[in-house]
Amino acid sequence: MNHSNPANLALIACPGGEIFADKVVVHLKKGYRRSFDNLIAELGKHYELESHTAARQVNFINDVCSPPHKIQGNAAEYRSPHIKIPTLFTFFPNGEIKAEILESIRGKDIYIVQDVENRYPVLFNSGETKKALTVNDHLLTIFVTVDAAREAGAESITLVLPVYPYSRQHKKKGREGITAGRVAKILESLGVTRIITLDIHSREINNAFDKMRLENLHASYQIIRELSRIPGIFDDELVVVSPDTGAVDRNKFYASTLKKPLALLYKERDYSKVSNNAIDNNISEIKLLGDVHGKTVFIADDMLGTGGTLLKAMKFLKEQGAKKVICAISLPLFTGDAIRYFDEAYQKGLFHRIIGTNAIYHEDLLWREWYISVNITKLFAQTITRLHQGLPVSSLLDNRSIIVKLFEKSADKA
């Protein structure tokens, strides 16, 4: 496998995932540039070659090994790879969607990027049409794009889905479907060989895969990095609080890694009610196991929808004497009027900051004083590179040691 030239790697961006994909491509190109420079330095040192001579030799091998044998650029310099494949998406008047790949991808490993929770208008028909899509529209766009890639002769198809669609429909309580698993079956039947996602809502979904692989990434390092940059965080007594029993493992990871105490919020719900928004939800009572009085509270959760559960939790923690509340959310959906409710809660002093990833595109959040955006596209780019090169990704999935070093280093500076 050639680590300095991604000859058989190609990326297709669905309309909803265009912004995320462009950032991933930037990191991919930077990564391959570093690999190229490191290789040139090593070859020059080992074989006593001038850098331009070593570069010429590497480019020669890359040109010989890279289909379709097109020689481009200066042979003695680094040549930036062509990764993103131009694709035309058509939105027809009756609502149908078509994907047309505009250059050959035969024999390539294709990575299709889609943000199924992007609720902003996206471009179709060569930029002439703008449409705001639902999750179902984004999912159908995935289907037609995967089908187009398969028909075009792709060697393998990997989906890059920062948010796995229908992930909250992962278990059966009555006469209902397990739609998260059904989505996996459909994607597998279309020819998808792997899915890369972030903090999937339930690991049970992996059981629905027969041959398809799931790479479930975590943004813990990126979140801790931003947490350590909050002024005064090391001056306060910090306690990690799990917002419910389902998030215990996640918050236990943070507590043990940061060497901080762990507390738990227990919520009783009235399941005869449906949570419609941040105010009208089904939580009837909250109880605290642990002590937060006079302390800074750090809460981590995988997903924020309407935000009602978190708002009630933050209000309860402040009533229990918490000095400051900081939340970390891997998948900040902020559906409905959630942003407005959090604006009001921030004005009331119910929380200090919310750290969220850019797994979901949100223009409205970026200029909020209370919101800190974490860029995870480098994490996805590193994962794509390692998978394409046949390298292990275990160090990206379990980064506890890196987090400890980061936090200790930041604490020393503080």
- Active site includes 267? yes
CB 27 within 8 A of CB 384: no
CB 164 within 8 A of CB 118: no
CB 300 within 8 A of CB 254: yes
Written as six digits, the tokens of 384 are 């794509």
d(CA 185, CA 183): 5
DSSP-based three-state secondary structure for 302: strand
Enclosing H/E stretch for 94: none
Q: CA 36 from chain center: how many Å?
A: 27
**What amino acid occupies position 151?**
E
Nearest to 246 by CA among 260, 272, 275, 267: 267
Burial class (CB in 10 A: 0-12, 13-18, 19+), 249: exposed
Give me the DSSP letters along 107-160. T-EEEEE--TT--S-EEEGGGTEEE---HHHHHHHHHHHHHHHHHTT-SEEEEE
33-57: b or e for each residue (b if 16 or more CB lie within 10 Å)?
eebbeebbeebbeeeeeeeeebbbb
d(CA 139, CA 153): 22
Enclosing H/E stretch for 267: strand 262-269
Q: 279: number of CA atoms within 13 Å, CB side? A: 6
Q: Which of 108, 267, 312, 318 is catalytic?
A: 267
Question: CA separation (Å) from 381 to 67, 83, 143, 317?
Answer: 23, 12, 23, 38
User: Hey, which residues are catalytic here?
Assistant: 267
